[in-house]
Amino acid sequence: KMGAAARAEPRPPFWRSLFEAIPGLAAPVIILGGMRMGYFTPTEAAVVAVFYGLLIGMCVHRTIRVRDLFPILREAGELSAVIMLIVTLAGIFAWSLSTLSIIDPITNAIVHSGLGQYSVLTLLILLLIAAGMFLDGISIFLIFVPLILPVAQAFGWDLVWLGVVLTLMVAVGQFTPPVAVNLMVSSKIARIPMESTVPWVMWLVGGMLCTLVLVVIFPQIALWLPHYLGY
């Protein structure tokens, strides 16, 4: 037992870790707050996020050096090229569905299947969570939204609420093995094997699933803030 305890990694101090994480935690506040205040557009927010990340990495944590910039930019270019290819192919797929008039028959089949809107929503949730385990979020939205939107309009679902539900579904899938794109990236940043994070991340996935269920049952959880802001 003593040997096992000695091999166990000590937990870092909570308050010191929280203080060190404040610059990183401030990034969403700066990005979302800047867009809300009208200082920059969503496209410009990406530039702000990159600049802020470089500033924190080079000046605060000092984990990024000048000689590291070229490999970082090269990897970012390669990743962006892959994403753009996926987005392009997914866009062609969505355009093909509309041009070939495939969406309407699928929508009519789903709406008139006799399952009811809650059964259809449950199937969509399971489908998108499963898709999120293997695909990235951008591809999922580009592929499935053209199919889901007519169904949502037929059942009279609020599109803002649906967008929040879709985002939660994709988020759950992105942290669920076997592929778990976001978990893979997080593990690479932390320099730990992804397998060691699974027992811990399942608690967070369970929390996101509970949140998803609450948003589905009580739509005002997702709608009160947009309504309060005038959307």
pLDDT tens, residue by residue, 189-215: 677 787 777 778 888 888 888 988 899
- Please check whether residue 126 lies inside any domain of the structure: yes
Domain membership of residue 180 (yes or no) is: yes
Token digits for 31?
Answer: 């990005």
Domain annotation covers residue 8: no
In a domain, 223, yes or no: yes
**32 is written with which tokens?**
């979302």
User: Is the pLDDT reported for residue 165 higher than 60?
Assistant: yes
Query: Would residue 51 count as lying in a domain?
Result: no
Query: Is residue 174 one of the residues assigned to a domain?
Result: yes
Q: Give me the number of domains the chain comprises.
A: 1
71-88 mean pLDDT: 80
Q: Classify residue 52: in a domain, yes or no.
A: no
Residue 220 to residues 43, 116, 187, 199, Cα–Cα distance (Å): 29, 21, 34, 32
105-136 pLDDT, tens digit per residue, is 777 777 777 777 888 888 888 888 777 777 77
Task: Find the domain containing 151 and state its range.
Answer: 102-228
Which pLDDT score is estimated for 206? Answer: 87
% of the chain surpassing 70 pLDDT: 90
Q: How confident is the model at residue 1 (pLDDT cuts 50, 70, 90)?
A: very low
Residue 5's pLDDT is what?
Answer: 43
pLDDT value at residue 11: 65
Measure the CA–CA gap between 156 and 222, rounded to whole angstroms.
16
Residue 44 forms part of a structural domain = no
